[in-house]
Amino acid sequence: MTPPPAPDQVLSAPLIIEYPFTRTTGPVIGAFLTGLREQVLVGITASDGRVICPPVEYDPATGEDLTDIVEVGPGGQVVTWAWVATPHEKHPLDEPFAWAQILLDGADTPLLHAVAADGPDAVSAGLRVVPRWADEREGHIGDIACFVPEEA
C-alpha cells in the first residue's frame, strides 16, 4: 500500500466562497433596497404594532403577510456593539470599527451595521448615530457605507 503523502505534498486548491445568484427581492425587501438607493430607510409594521427594520415579509410571531411599510431613521441609537481592532478585508471598513445593533428612530428592532468611530471609548450603548451614505448607491445594504456618531 502506498504510504500517505507528507503534508507538504498534499494537493490543494483555493476555496472561494460566494453567493453568485441574482434574486427578485419582492415588494417588502425590494422596498427596503429601493429606499437605500434613495437614502430613505424603511421598516414594516408587525401584527403587534412593532416596526421591524430591516423589514420582513412575514410576521415573526404569527407568520401572516406583512405589507405596511413605514419610514424610519435615518438616525438611531446603538443598542449593543463589538469593537473590531483588526478588520477583515471583507468587512465594510478598513480602519478599526464597531459592529453595532442600531435601533433606528421609529423602529422597534435593531439593524446590524458598522459604526466608524475614533476608538472603543467613543462607542457606547445609547450612542446616537446617523448613516454615511455611499457615493454611488445601487439598492444594496452597502449603500450605507457605515454609521457615524451624530454631530452634537
Partner 1 sequence: MRDVAVVSFAQTPARRRVQEVNEVEMLMPAVHTALSQVDMTIDDIGFTCSGSTDYLAGVGFSFVSTLDAVGPWPPIQESHVEMDGAWALYEAWVKLQLGEVDTALVYCYAKSSPGDLPMVLTRQLDPITVGPLWPDSISLAALQARALLESGKATEEEMAEVAARSRKAAMDNPNAQLAWDRPASDVLAEEHLVAPLRRSDCPPITDGAAAVVLAAGDAARERSDRPAWIRGIDHRIEPIHLGHRDLTVSESTRTAAEKAGVADGSVDVAELHAPFTHQELILREALGLADDALVNPSGGALAANPMMTAGLIRMGEVANRISAGTADRGVAHATSGPCLQQNLVCVMEGEG
Which residues form the interface with partner 1 (CB under 8 A)? 4-7, 10, 12, 15, 17, 19, 23, 25, 29, 32-33, 52-54, 56, 60, 79-85, 88, 90-92, 99-101, 109-114, 120, 125, 140-142
Closer residue to partner 1, CB minimum distance, 1 or 152: 1
**Which cell goes with 124?**
457606547
Check residue 118 and give left, alpha or beta (phi > 0: left; psi -120 to 50: alpha): alpha
Closer residue to partner 1, CB minimum distance, 21 or 151: 21
Whole-number minimum distance, CB 83 to partner 1, in Å?
A: 4
Closer residue to partner 1, CB minimum distance, 67 or 125: 125
Distance in angstroms between the alpha carbons of the first and the last residue of the chain: 74
Which are the contacts of 8, defined by CB distance < 8 A and separation ≥ 6?
Answer: none
Check residue 71 and give left, alpha or beta (phi > 0: left; psi -120 to 50: alpha): beta
Closer residue to partner 1, CB minimum distance, 12 or 94: 12
Nearest 5°: phi and psi at 67? Answer: -135, -15
Whole-number minimum distance, CB 19 to partner 1, in Å?
A: 6
Whole-number minimum distance, CB 116 to partner 1, in Å?
A: 14
Whole-number minimum distance, CB 67 to partner 1, in Å?
A: 18
Q: How far is CA 38 from CA 31, 58, 91, in A?
A: 10, 24, 23
